[in-house]
């Protein structure tokens, strides 16, 4: 398994402004061309975490899907992050996984954040996603999924002759600073119990609801030891 160069994009997402966010994140990503294998954006990176963003939800043929595909091609890297997207069955908090060859896969957030009423406006996903990239088997998840260890379990795969399902688990999030200790603790727990690497990206700044985000994006090894830790600075690591 080769080394995997991961870029954590810890941005201050603009509130309910998809066009401005595509421009903003595009500027952050541009210097990464040729220097990374995997770019991870935050949850709902075109709008911020808002139930009202459902009114702005694009389709799979919209500008954000085209944008993330173009970013993957120009960077020669896989690019992932979640957005609100309208599809058959409702509007989903959908993680997109784009690769340089133009292919696109997606995962719909399974565990909607009921305390904020996300379940009243958005549809929940019903399947996990597993992707292979640069020799790594990867399982991407979204924010509140982090609190459900059974769902994120690294299962033993008999067909792979004693291999577990994945080598790396990804979490993209809008996780408020008030619960930062839980975020950091649960990331380590998932790495330890699943015997896998974890890469997690959280946004920074203050959103339109007045919630503050402290970033704390990280890469953690399978022993629970941090390889990369950030604080509240805006930028790419």
Residues designated catalytic: 43, 109, 143
Q: CB–CB of 140/80 below 8 Å?
A: yes
Q: CB–CB of 115/76 below 8 Å?
A: no
SS (H, E, C) the chain: CCCCCEEEEECCCCCCCHHHHHHHHHHHHHHHCCCCCEEECCCCCCCCCCHHHHHHCECCCCHHHHHHHHHHHHHCCEEEEEEEEEECCEEEEEEEEECCCCCEEEEECCCCCHHHCHHHHCECCCCCCCEEECCEEEEEEEHHHHHCCCCCCCCEEHHHCCEECCCEEEEEECCEHHHHHHHHHHHHHHHHHHCCEEEEEECEEECCCCCEEECCCEEECCCCCEEEECCCCCEEC
Per-residue tokens: 193: 């119990």
């Amino acid at each position: 398994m080769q080394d995997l160069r991961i870029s954590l994009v810890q941005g201050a997402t603009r509130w309910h402004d998809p066009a401005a966010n595509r421009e903003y994140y595009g500027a952050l990503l541009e210097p990464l061309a040729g220097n990374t294998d995997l770019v991870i954006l935050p949850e709902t990176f075109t709008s911020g975490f808002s139930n009202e963003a459902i009114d702005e939800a694009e389709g799979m043929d919209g500008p954000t899907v085209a944008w993330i595909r173009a970013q993957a091609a120009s960077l020669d890297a896989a690019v992932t992050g979640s957005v609100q997207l309208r599809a058959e069955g409702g509007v989903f908090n959908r993680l997109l996984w784009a690769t340089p060859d133009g292919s696109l896969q997606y995962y719909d957030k399974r565990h909607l954040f009921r305390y904020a009423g996300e379940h009243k406006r958005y549809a929940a996903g019903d399947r996990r996603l597993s992707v292979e990239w640069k020799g790594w088997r990867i399982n991407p998840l979204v924010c509140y999924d982090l609190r459900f260890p059974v769902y994120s379990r690294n299962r033993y795969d008999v067909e792979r002759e004693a291999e577990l399902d994945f080598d790396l688990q990804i979490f993209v999030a809008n996780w408020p600073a008030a619960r930062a200790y839980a975020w950091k603790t649960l990331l380590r727990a998932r790495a330890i119990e699943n015997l896998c690497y974890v890469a997690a990206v959280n946004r920074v700044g203050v959103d339109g609801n007045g919630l503050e985000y402290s970033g704390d994006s990280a890469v953690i090894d399978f022993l629970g030891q941090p390889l990369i830790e950030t604080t509240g600075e805006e930028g790419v690591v």
